[in-house]
Amino acid sequence: MSITLSLRGGDPARVATPLLAVGLHSGGVFPRVLAALDRAYGGVLSRAVRQGDFKGARDESLLIVGSGRGPARVLLVGLGESSDTYAVITRAATLAGRKGNSMGVRRMAFWAPQLSGDTVEAAAFGLSRGAWDFTDYKTQPAAKDRPKPLVEAVVIATNARGSQAALAAGIALGEGQRIARRLQQLPGNVCTPEHLARMARDIGKRHTLRVSVYGRRDLKRLKMESFLAVAAGTPQDPKLIVVEYRGGRRGEAPVALVGKGLCFDSGGISIKPAQGMEMMKYDMSGAAGVLGAMEAIARMKLTVNVVGLIGSTTNMPSGTSMNPGDVVTASNGTTIEILNTDAEGRLVLADVLAYSARFKPAAIIDAATLTGACVVALGNSATGVMGNDDALVDEVLLAARRGGEPGWPLPMWDEYKEMIKGDIADIKNIGGRGAGTITAALFLREFVPAGVPWVHLDIAGTAYSETDLVIIPKGPTGVPVRTFVEFVRGRAR
Ligand code: BES
Ligand code: MN
Ligand code: ZN
């Protein structure tokens, strides 16, 4: 279910709402502009701050039930000490949205000091993100005990009129991320390559984008032996999905966003251990990121041409699957020795990256849950960022930071390339024991069209969370939707 967001001005004391979330900084000072609200609450709000019951620390919250007019409840939410207002408001609004959603109030309002422009966007996005959940497969109890999700939220701003565009942007970002998280969370038997293609067509219809979908027969015609090797083990039709958004000048080179769309990765013949294998439904998170970003970019009408490219299939062992030792020729002519069938993402992306050449992109960014090694190196707090162009790497790192999805660079020195030199073919699909994230990226680099700046995002550690976090519940995070959108936005300015 989606959430309706709106904007208003005025004194929060006068907003009739079942729940008003109030963002407060740390430091023990109760803001004077909330005097009327404090009075309506008999002074307990300022007292809570004065007494230190509520310190305003990041992620802190305190619920206070009112007795009279105005907001029926106030949820104080800590903003902490950071000076990065956009990030602070995003986080607080997410927490507020999450609480509002679980409290069953249906509607809520959000106030923080001086919300206007950018911070209205942050609040709207945060509320939308916080309210996200996924209950499709939970049998609903009788109507009276049914959980009441948050369906409406109002942002109270100091400059409501002037912040409408910012609100729209926040909604766009929220909807884009919702699409991604939903696709991620759908199980592999529902979110198939066919399903991703359907979703792409859906987005295309909504925003009149050109969507092209290619199946196994087309991939054969395109000589995508590398992609097809991965798809050889599954009866499902693999899909190469292309979504074209034309928001820039006619003929202007597009930004290419490329996503790994493995709807399930069993490892194939090099099969994975049973423990945790269910997490490999998330192996299509890069593709989900591309689709979510296309939705947000189209909603925001960014003045840039963007082409989204997705390679989607599943990686299964079978009598028809690829085997260790197999050699294939990718569509760019490079021969690949497949030594481990579990290093399948790079095999799919090889042909998709090569295919992107026909769009003559100004830049390519790919996102893939590509290596467990990236989780070892960076954990769950940073995306691995590598590329063939330092300026583009920096541009993407900045975009990632703006979007609250931090990335960290890893080196791409030629020394590492030795590790994936083929014995009987040009290149092999695994390196040695070390530097697995880097050798995977170096493998991809071989398929990037000549002369095109390219950045690879390894989102294996950031696309989903295996534990419940303050801001994000266990499950999909929607990374890298924001990174993609912030990058394209940066190019639109
Ligand atoms: N999809 C996995 C990578 C992955 C691992 C993502 C853990 C998220 C969490 C990828 O296809 C894979 O299996 N990579 C192998 C590569 C290895 C065989 C060189 C890996 O990381 O073990
Ligand atoms: Mn794999
Ligand atoms: Zn994989």
Nearest CA to ligand 1 atom 8: 460
Query: What are the residue ranges in the chain where pLDDT is below 70?
Result: 1
Ligand 1 center–CA 61 separation, angstroms: 38
Residue pair 263/314 in contact (Cβ under 8 Å)? The answer is yes
344 in ligand 1 pocket by Cβ < 6 Å? yes
- Confidence at residue 68, expressed as pLDDT on a 0 to 100 scale: 78
Ligand 1 pocket, mutate which of 271, 322, 371, 477 (most atoms under 8 A from CB): 371
Q: Indicate the class that CATH gives domain 4-172.
A: alpha beta
- CATH 3.40.220.10 domain locations along the chain: 4-172
- CATH 3.40.630.10 domain locations along the chain: 191-492
Which DSSP symbol is given to 283?
G
436 in ligand 1 pocket by Cβ < 6 Å? yes
CB neighbourhood size of 5 (10 A): 24
7-64 confidence digits (pLDDT tens): 999 999 999 999 999 999 999 999 999 999 999 999 999 999 999 999 999 999 999 9
- Confidence at residue 1, expressed as pLDDT on a 0 to 100 scale: 64
343 in ligand 1 pocket by Cβ < 6 Å? yes
Give dist(CA 331, CA 350) in Å, integer: 8
258 in ligand 1 pocket by Cβ < 6 Å? no
322 in ligand 1 pocket by Cβ < 6 Å? no
Protein residues within 5 Å, CB atom, of ion ligand 2: 265, 342, 344
Residues 6 or more apart whose CB falls under 8 angstroms from that of 421 comprise: 427, 428
Which superfamily does 191-492 belong to? Zn peptidases (3.40.630.10)
- Confidence at residue 147, expressed as pLDDT on a 0 to 100 scale: 86
Residue 344 CA: which ligand 1 atom is closest? 11
Distances, alpha carbon 45 to alpha carbons 22, 155, 199, 345, in Å: 10, 20, 46, 53
Residue 272 CA: which ligand 1 atom is closest? 13
Q: Give how far the C-alpha of residue 385 lies from the chain's centroid of Cα atoms, to the nearest Å.
A: 15
275-303 confidence digits (pLDDT tens): 999 999 999 999 999 999 999 999 999 99
